Amino acid sequence: MRRTIRTLTLLAGVIAVGYYLWHGLTYRADGIDGAVLGWVDWQMALPILALTFVPIVFAFTSTGMTEAFTGLGQVLTGRNSTEFRDAPVGIATVTAVRQTGVSVNDQPQVHLDLTVEDAAGHTFASQAKIIVPLIELALMRPGVVLPVRYLPGRTDKVEIDRSGDQAAAQHAWNETMIRRGFTTPAKLDIAARGIPAQAVVQSLSVPGEIRDGFTRIALILAVTRPDGTTFTTNTEKFLPPTSIDLVQIGRIVQVHYLPGAEQDVVLSLPVQT
């Protein structure tokens, strides 16, 4: 689209300047008007307009300007661009972060290098740009896991999912965790049908196993049932490094369990960590 706009604008500019030159060179005075009118009549406005608007269009359709306006549109609407709005959801891990030098409403734009896993389990390298509030800038670092929208067949660029569709993001995350062996359909069933409760982390240990950058942790939890009674249970979970702080001793976490099977507790942590 950007290339089409530039091509049409440049073509219009060439035609305008060409017509002005042709008119001036072929103009014939009729004896009353001087030949100079061939150059200073209304046609003189054509090259002026061309030299004014062609650079403006090229500037506003440059990559940086387009991305800045795209970022501004996402900030104002809180939604993805039209191109990505209904695209599939994948799970991305940030591998590198750098500021672009562009800011929107005093909020910096950052460039993210990502490794994305799509709905079919295929991974690909991609990139995204996002406007980040200053107070959240330090949170955007390598290892952070984010839901993204991607275009199949055009994986060079993705957009961070801004739809607020937690169900879609959770489904994509669950599928990724099953493929990696970090969870099972049975545990997901507990998360879906189980009783929600709060638990306090009483003990945290790290057996030492690392899988795809995720660390296996072992927890002892004191779970409070909805009626106020409590029980203690053990659970294990693979977590990315950015989530370890969420399960430190003394932290309150969300869990699910099935009545009569309280030994199988599923820890619930947010997708975007």
Beta strands, E only, 13-136 = 89-104, 107-117, 123-131
The average confidence (pLDDT) of the chain is 82
Q: With contact defined as beta carbons under 8 Å apart, do 175 and 147 qualify?
A: no
Please tell me the predicted confidence (pLDDT) of residue 170: 79
3-state secondary structure (DSSP) of residue 1: coil
Pick the CATH number of 194-268 from 3.10.400, 2.40.50, 3.30.70, 1.10.150: 2.40.50
Please tell me the predicted confidence (pLDDT) of residue 271: 53
271 or 219, higher pLDDT: 219
38 or 259, higher pLDDT: 259
Instruction: Return the CATH class of domain 82-167.
Output: mainly beta
Q: Where are the domains of the chain?
A: 2-61, 82-167, 194-268
pLDDT digits (tens, 9 = 90+) for 133-161: 888 788 788 888 889 999 998 889 999 99
| Across 221-227, average pLDDT | 94
DSSP letter for 246, please.
G
CA neighbor of 199 nearest in space, from 250, 138, 125, 153: 250
pTM over 0.75: no
Please tell me the predicted confidence (pLDDT) of residue 50: 75
| Across 2-13, average pLDDT | 76
Check pLDDT > 90 for residue 20.
no
Check pLDDT > 90 for residue 204.
yes
Q: With contact defined as beta carbons under 8 Å apart, do 120 and 131 qualify?
A: no
Bridge-partner residues for 98, per DSSP?
A: 111
Asked if 82-167 and 194-268 have one fold, the answer is yes
Cα–Cα distance between 170 and 253 in angstroms, integer?
17
